[in-house]
A and B are shown apart, each in its own frame.
Chain A
Amino acid sequence: MKKLEDDSAHDPANWMAAMEKSLLWGEEIPIGKFFERTDVPTLHGAEPVLNEGPLIHRDPHVPLDVARSFIEELM
Protein backbone atom coordinates (compact mmCIF):
# COMPACT_ATOMS: atom_id res chain seq x y z
CA MET A 1 0.00 0.00 0.00
CA LYS A 2 1.13 3.51 -0.73
CA LYS A 3 0.16 6.50 1.34
CA LEU A 4 -1.06 9.43 -0.70
CA GLU A 5 0.37 11.78 1.91
CA ASP A 6 3.83 10.51 0.94
CA ASP A 7 3.24 11.38 -2.70
CA SER A 8 4.19 15.04 -2.98
CA ALA A 9 2.80 15.15 -6.51
CA HIS A 10 -0.71 14.25 -5.39
CA ASP A 11 -2.98 17.26 -4.97
CA PRO A 12 -6.27 16.39 -3.16
CA ALA A 13 -7.89 19.39 -4.81
CA ASN A 14 -7.36 17.84 -8.26
CA TRP A 15 -10.44 15.78 -9.08
CA MET A 16 -8.92 14.18 -12.19
CA ALA A 17 -5.83 13.12 -10.26
CA ALA A 18 -8.03 11.64 -7.55
CA MET A 19 -9.98 9.68 -10.15
CA GLU A 20 -6.77 8.31 -11.63
CA LYS A 21 -5.53 7.27 -8.19
CA SER A 22 -8.86 5.60 -7.47
CA LEU A 23 -8.27 3.18 -10.36
CA LEU A 24 -5.10 1.78 -8.82
CA TRP A 25 -5.56 -1.65 -7.26
CA GLY A 26 -2.86 -4.26 -7.47
CA GLU A 27 0.84 -3.76 -6.96
CA GLU A 28 0.00 -0.32 -5.65
CA ILE A 29 -3.04 0.38 -3.51
CA PRO A 30 -3.27 4.01 -2.47
CA ILE A 31 -4.59 4.89 0.99
CA GLY A 32 -5.19 8.34 2.40
CA LYS A 33 -7.04 11.39 1.21
CA PHE A 34 -7.93 11.18 -2.48
CA PHE A 35 -9.98 14.32 -2.81
CA GLU A 36 -11.37 17.26 -0.89
CA ARG A 37 -13.22 20.42 -1.79
CA THR A 38 -14.80 22.87 0.61
CA ASP A 39 -16.66 25.24 -1.71
CA VAL A 40 -19.85 23.20 -2.02
CA PRO A 41 -22.70 24.09 0.34
CA THR A 42 -24.08 21.32 2.49
CA LEU A 43 -27.63 20.17 1.99
CA HIS A 44 -28.84 21.81 5.18
CA GLY A 45 -26.78 24.93 4.45
CA ALA A 46 -28.47 25.31 1.08
CA GLU A 47 -31.98 24.94 2.49
CA PRO A 48 -33.27 28.41 3.49
CA VAL A 49 -35.99 26.94 5.69
CA LEU A 50 -33.25 25.81 8.07
CA ASN A 51 -31.65 29.26 8.37
CA GLU A 52 -33.66 29.93 11.53
CA GLY A 53 -32.21 26.86 13.21
CA PRO A 54 -32.92 23.14 13.45
CA LEU A 55 -36.46 21.96 12.80
CA ILE A 56 -36.39 19.95 15.98
CA HIS A 57 -36.43 23.11 18.10
CA ARG A 58 -39.50 24.56 16.43
CA ASP A 59 -43.17 24.21 17.21
CA PRO A 60 -44.43 21.50 14.84
CA HIS A 61 -48.05 22.57 15.35
CA VAL A 62 -49.94 23.18 12.10
CA PRO A 63 -52.94 25.52 12.55
CA LEU A 64 -56.27 23.84 11.84
CA ASP A 65 -57.22 26.24 9.05
CA VAL A 66 -53.90 25.58 7.29
CA ALA A 67 -54.39 21.84 7.59
CA ARG A 68 -57.92 22.16 6.20
CA SER A 69 -56.71 24.23 3.27
CA PHE A 70 -54.23 21.49 2.37
CA ILE A 71 -56.96 18.83 2.55
CA GLU A 72 -59.35 20.86 0.44
CA GLU A 73 -56.68 21.48 -2.16
CA LEU A 74 -55.78 17.83 -2.42
CA MET A 75 -59.22 16.25 -2.23
Chain B
Amino acid sequence: MATGVQRASQLTMADMKGRVDPDWCPGCGDFGVLAAVQKALVELRIPNHSVVTISGIGCSSNFPGYMNTYGMHTLHGRALAVATGLKLANHELTVLVTGGDGDGFGIGGNHFVHSMRRNVDLLYIVMDNQIYGLTTGQTSPTSRVGMKTKSMPFGNIEAPINPISLALAAGATFVARGYSAEQKKASHRADQARHRTSRLLVPGRLQPLRHLQSRQYLSVVPSACEEARGRLRA
Protein backbone atom coordinates (compact mmCIF):
# COMPACT_ATOMS: atom_id res chain seq x y z
CA MET B 1 0.00 0.00 0.00
CA ALA B 2 1.24 3.44 -0.83
CA THR B 3 0.99 6.27 1.63
CA GLY B 4 0.65 9.99 1.34
CA VAL B 5 -0.72 12.08 -1.48
CA GLN B 6 0.11 10.67 -4.90
CA ARG B 7 0.44 12.67 -8.07
CA ALA B 8 -2.53 11.84 -10.28
CA SER B 9 -0.31 11.02 -13.25
CA GLN B 10 1.71 8.55 -11.19
CA LEU B 11 -1.16 6.60 -9.66
CA THR B 12 -0.96 2.83 -9.70
CA MET B 13 -3.26 0.07 -8.48
CA ALA B 14 -1.05 -0.25 -5.39
CA ASP B 15 -1.81 3.36 -4.49
CA MET B 16 -5.52 2.55 -4.32
CA LYS B 17 -5.20 -0.43 -1.99
CA GLY B 18 -6.16 0.04 1.64
CA ARG B 19 -4.19 -0.98 4.70
CA VAL B 20 -6.03 -4.25 5.25
CA ASP B 21 -6.81 -7.08 2.89
CA PRO B 22 -10.44 -8.04 2.20
CA ASP B 23 -11.91 -10.73 4.43
CA TRP B 24 -14.48 -11.78 1.84
CA CYS B 25 -15.00 -15.48 1.18
CA PRO B 26 -12.69 -17.02 -1.42
CA GLY B 27 -14.24 -16.63 -4.86
CA CYS B 28 -16.62 -13.85 -3.82
CA GLY B 29 -17.55 -11.44 -6.60
CA ASP B 30 -16.71 -8.48 -4.38
CA PHE B 31 -13.01 -8.95 -5.19
CA GLY B 32 -13.73 -8.28 -8.84
CA VAL B 33 -15.67 -5.12 -8.06
CA LEU B 34 -12.93 -3.80 -5.77
CA ALA B 35 -10.30 -4.33 -8.45
CA ALA B 36 -12.52 -2.77 -11.12
CA VAL B 37 -13.14 0.36 -9.07
CA GLN B 38 -9.45 0.76 -8.21
CA LYS B 39 -8.55 0.31 -11.85
CA ALA B 40 -11.11 2.89 -12.98
CA LEU B 41 -9.77 5.47 -10.52
CA VAL B 42 -6.21 4.88 -11.71
CA GLU B 43 -7.20 5.12 -15.37
CA LEU B 44 -9.17 8.29 -14.75
CA ARG B 45 -6.22 9.64 -12.74
CA ILE B 46 -8.38 10.67 -9.84
CA PRO B 47 -6.04 11.25 -6.88
CA ASN B 48 -6.79 9.40 -3.64
CA HIS B 49 -7.23 12.55 -1.59
CA SER B 50 -10.14 13.73 -3.74
CA VAL B 51 -12.13 10.50 -3.35
CA VAL B 52 -14.47 9.46 -0.54
CA THR B 53 -15.83 5.92 -0.37
CA ILE B 54 -19.00 5.57 1.71
CA SER B 55 -20.86 2.42 2.70
CA GLY B 56 -23.56 1.05 4.96
CA ILE B 57 -23.47 -2.40 6.56
CA GLY B 58 -22.78 -5.78 5.02
CA CYS B 59 -19.97 -7.75 3.39
CA SER B 60 -19.73 -5.35 0.46
CA SER B 61 -19.97 -2.40 2.83
CA ASN B 62 -16.50 -3.23 4.12
CA PHE B 63 -15.36 -1.75 0.82
CA PRO B 64 -14.05 1.62 2.17
CA GLY B 65 -11.58 -0.22 4.41
CA TYR B 66 -9.97 -1.81 1.39
CA MET B 67 -9.53 1.46 -0.47
CA ASN B 68 -6.77 4.02 0.08
CA THR B 69 -9.19 6.94 -0.07
CA TYR B 70 -11.13 8.87 2.52
CA GLY B 71 -14.01 6.75 3.69
CA MET B 72 -16.99 6.40 5.98
CA HIS B 73 -18.54 3.13 7.15
CA THR B 74 -21.97 4.37 8.14
CA LEU B 75 -25.24 2.93 9.45
CA HIS B 76 -27.18 0.12 7.80
CA GLY B 77 -28.93 1.47 4.70
CA ARG B 78 -27.84 5.07 5.30
CA ALA B 79 -24.81 5.34 3.04
CA LEU B 80 -26.64 7.37 0.39
CA ALA B 81 -28.00 9.80 2.96
CA VAL B 82 -24.52 10.43 4.35
CA ALA B 83 -23.09 10.66 0.84
CA THR B 84 -25.67 13.26 -0.14
CA GLY B 85 -24.75 15.42 2.83
CA LEU B 86 -21.07 15.03 2.09
CA LYS B 87 -21.53 15.97 -1.56
CA LEU B 88 -23.43 19.11 -0.60
CA ALA B 89 -20.75 20.07 1.93
CA ASN B 90 -17.94 19.65 -0.60
CA HIS B 91 -19.06 19.00 -4.15
CA GLU B 92 -15.48 19.02 -5.42
CA LEU B 93 -14.97 15.51 -4.02
CA THR B 94 -15.54 12.33 -6.01
CA VAL B 95 -18.06 10.34 -3.98
CA LEU B 96 -18.34 6.57 -4.32
CA VAL B 97 -21.04 4.66 -2.47
CA THR B 98 -20.90 0.89 -2.10
CA GLY B 99 -23.20 -1.69 -0.58
CA GLY B 100 -25.27 -4.77 -1.12
CA ASP B 101 -28.84 -5.54 -2.10
CA GLY B 102 -30.06 -5.83 1.48
CA ASP B 103 -28.42 -2.61 2.57
CA GLY B 104 -29.41 -0.64 -0.51
CA PHE B 105 -32.82 -1.98 -1.47
CA GLY B 106 -34.11 -3.20 1.91
CA ILE B 107 -32.97 -1.06 4.81
CA GLY B 108 -31.97 1.82 2.54
CA GLY B 109 -34.73 1.53 -0.05
CA ASN B 110 -36.11 4.97 0.71
CA HIS B 111 -32.72 6.65 0.28
CA PHE B 112 -32.18 4.74 -2.95
CA VAL B 113 -35.30 6.16 -4.59
CA HIS B 114 -34.75 9.72 -3.43
CA SER B 115 -31.09 9.77 -4.38
CA MET B 116 -32.13 8.85 -7.91
CA ARG B 117 -34.73 11.57 -8.29
CA ARG B 118 -32.42 14.21 -6.78
CA ASN B 119 -29.63 13.35 -9.20
CA VAL B 120 -26.96 13.51 -6.54
CA ASP B 121 -23.55 13.55 -8.21
CA LEU B 122 -22.19 10.27 -6.95
CA LEU B 123 -21.45 6.74 -8.08
CA TYR B 124 -23.52 4.07 -6.35
CA ILE B 125 -22.25 0.52 -6.76
CA VAL B 126 -24.58 -2.22 -5.52
CA MET B 127 -23.07 -5.67 -5.14
CA ASP B 128 -26.28 -7.59 -5.64
CA ASN B 129 -25.94 -11.26 -4.68
CA GLN B 130 -29.64 -11.72 -3.89
CA ILE B 131 -29.08 -12.58 -0.25
CA TYR B 132 -27.95 -11.25 3.12
CA GLY B 133 -24.46 -12.76 3.03
CA LEU B 134 -22.81 -11.28 6.14
CA THR B 135 -25.43 -12.84 8.36
CA THR B 136 -24.88 -16.16 6.57
CA GLY B 137 -27.84 -16.27 4.24
CA GLN B 138 -31.28 -14.74 4.72
CA THR B 139 -33.79 -13.70 2.05
CA SER B 140 -33.10 -10.23 0.65
CA PRO B 141 -35.25 -7.85 -1.44
CA THR B 142 -33.76 -9.29 -4.64
CA SER B 143 -34.00 -13.00 -3.72
CA ARG B 144 -35.91 -14.91 -6.38
CA VAL B 145 -39.24 -16.58 -5.63
CA GLY B 146 -38.66 -20.12 -4.43
CA MET B 147 -35.07 -19.48 -3.35
CA LYS B 148 -34.36 -21.41 -0.15
CA THR B 149 -32.59 -19.46 2.56
CA LYS B 150 -32.10 -19.72 6.30
CA SER B 151 -35.01 -17.36 6.88
CA MET B 152 -37.22 -19.08 4.30
CA PRO B 153 -36.15 -22.73 4.29
CA PHE B 154 -39.19 -23.79 2.24
CA GLY B 155 -38.54 -21.18 -0.42
CA ASN B 156 -39.07 -17.43 -0.78
CA ILE B 157 -42.72 -16.49 -1.28
CA GLU B 158 -42.08 -12.78 -1.86
CA ALA B 159 -41.63 -11.23 -5.30
CA PRO B 160 -38.23 -9.56 -5.70
CA ILE B 161 -37.80 -5.95 -6.67
CA ASN B 162 -36.07 -5.08 -9.92
CA PRO B 163 -33.31 -2.54 -9.08
CA ILE B 164 -32.75 -1.49 -12.69
CA SER B 165 -36.45 -0.79 -13.29
CA LEU B 166 -36.73 0.96 -9.94
CA ALA B 167 -33.75 3.19 -10.68
CA LEU B 168 -35.14 4.11 -14.08
CA ALA B 169 -38.59 4.85 -12.69
CA ALA B 170 -37.11 6.99 -9.93
CA GLY B 171 -35.25 9.15 -12.41
CA ALA B 172 -31.66 7.87 -12.38
CA THR B 173 -29.57 9.46 -15.12
CA PHE B 174 -27.06 6.64 -15.59
CA VAL B 175 -28.03 3.01 -15.10
CA ALA B 176 -25.78 0.05 -15.85
CA ARG B 177 -25.30 -3.56 -14.81
CA GLY B 178 -21.92 -5.21 -14.66
CA TYR B 179 -20.69 -8.68 -13.96
CA SER B 180 -18.09 -9.10 -11.26
CA ALA B 181 -16.24 -11.84 -13.14
CA GLU B 182 -15.61 -9.33 -15.91
CA GLN B 183 -13.39 -6.75 -14.24
CA LYS B 184 -12.43 -5.01 -17.44
CA LYS B 185 -16.03 -4.34 -18.40
CA ALA B 186 -17.03 -3.40 -14.88
CA SER B 187 -14.14 -0.98 -14.67
CA HIS B 188 -15.13 0.50 -18.01
CA ARG B 189 -18.66 1.05 -16.74
CA ALA B 190 -17.42 2.73 -13.59
CA ASP B 191 -15.27 4.86 -15.86
CA GLN B 192 -18.26 5.73 -18.04
CA ALA B 193 -20.39 6.64 -15.08
CA ARG B 194 -17.75 8.85 -13.54
CA HIS B 195 -16.27 10.33 -16.67
CA ARG B 196 -19.21 10.97 -18.94
CA THR B 197 -22.00 11.85 -16.61
CA SER B 198 -20.73 12.02 -13.05
CA ARG B 199 -24.17 10.95 -12.02
CA LEU B 200 -25.77 7.91 -10.52
CA LEU B 201 -24.66 4.48 -11.47
CA VAL B 202 -26.90 1.67 -10.30
CA PRO B 203 -25.56 -1.67 -11.27
CA GLY B 204 -27.78 -4.53 -10.28
CA ARG B 205 -24.73 -6.69 -10.51
CA LEU B 206 -24.62 -10.41 -11.08
CA GLN B 207 -22.34 -11.90 -8.56
CA PRO B 208 -21.11 -15.45 -8.29
CA LEU B 209 -21.79 -16.75 -4.81
CA ARG B 210 -19.59 -19.71 -4.17
CA HIS B 211 -19.82 -20.01 -0.47
CA LEU B 212 -23.34 -19.54 0.76
CA GLN B 213 -26.02 -19.97 -1.82
CA SER B 214 -24.38 -21.26 -4.94
CA ARG B 215 -27.00 -23.92 -5.55
CA GLN B 216 -29.84 -21.46 -5.30
CA TYR B 217 -27.95 -19.05 -7.48
CA LEU B 218 -27.30 -21.79 -9.99
CA SER B 219 -30.99 -22.52 -10.20
CA VAL B 220 -31.72 -18.89 -10.98
CA VAL B 221 -29.04 -17.94 -13.46
CA PRO B 222 -27.11 -21.06 -14.41
CA SER B 223 -25.33 -19.50 -17.36
CA ALA B 224 -24.01 -16.62 -15.30
CA CYS B 225 -22.90 -18.85 -12.48
CA GLU B 226 -21.28 -21.41 -14.72
CA GLU B 227 -19.38 -18.72 -16.53
CA ALA B 228 -18.23 -17.24 -13.26
CA ARG B 229 -17.11 -20.60 -11.92
CA GLY B 230 -15.17 -21.26 -15.09
CA ARG B 231 -13.40 -17.94 -14.88
CA LEU B 232 -12.61 -18.36 -11.22
CA ARG B 233 -11.16 -21.83 -11.82
CA ALA B 234 -9.01 -20.38 -14.59
Q: Is A43's CB within 8 Å of the partner chain B?
A: yes
Interface size class of A (residues with CB under 8 A): 20 to 34
User: Given A33-B176, A36-B196, A54-B92, are A43 and B162 neighbors across the interface (CB < 8 Å)?
Assistant: no
Q: Give the contacting residue for B177; candidates A34, A40, A50; CB below 8 A.
A: A34
Minimum C-beta distance from B83 to chain A (A): 11
The answer to whether the Cβ of B41 comes within 8 Å of any Cβ in the partner chain is no
Interface residues of chain B: helix, strand, loop or mixed (majority):
mixed
- Interface residues of chain B, those whose CB is within 8 Å of chain A, are 84, 87-92, 118-121, 162, 164-165, 168-169, 171-179, 182, 185, 189, 192, 196-199, 206, 221, 223-224, 227
Q: Are A47 and B88 in contact (CB under 8 A)?
A: yes
Please report whether the interface of chain A is mostly helix, strand, loop or mixed according to DSSP.
mixed
B120, A42: Cβ atoms closer than 8 Å: yes
Interface contact tally, CB-CB below 8 A: 103
Q: Is A61 an interface residue (CB 8 A)?
A: no
**Contact A42 to B168, CB < 8 A, known contacts A1-B227, A23-B162, A34-B176:** no
What are 15 pairs between A and B in contact, CB < 8 Å?
A: A1-B206, A15-B168, A23-B162, A25-B221, A33-B175, A35-B168, A35-B172, A35-B174, A37-B173, A38-B173, A40-B173, A44-B91, A45-B121, A47-B88, A55-B89
Q: In the bound complex, do residue A32 and residue B177 qualify as a contact, i.e. CB atoms below 8 Å apart? A: yes
- Closest A residue to B204 by CB, please name it: A22
**Is A42 touching B198 in the complex (CB atoms < 8 A)?**
yes
Q: For A43, what are the chain B residues with a Cβ–Cβ distance below 8 Å?
A: 84, 87-88, 118-121
A35 touches B178 (CB 8 A): no
- Contact indicator A44/B206 (Cβ below 8 Å): no
| Given A1-B206, A1-B223: A42 in contact with B178 (beta carbons within 8 A) | no
Which A13-71 residues have C-beta < 8 A from chain B? Answer: 15, 18-19, 21-23, 25, 29-38, 40-45, 47, 50, 54-57
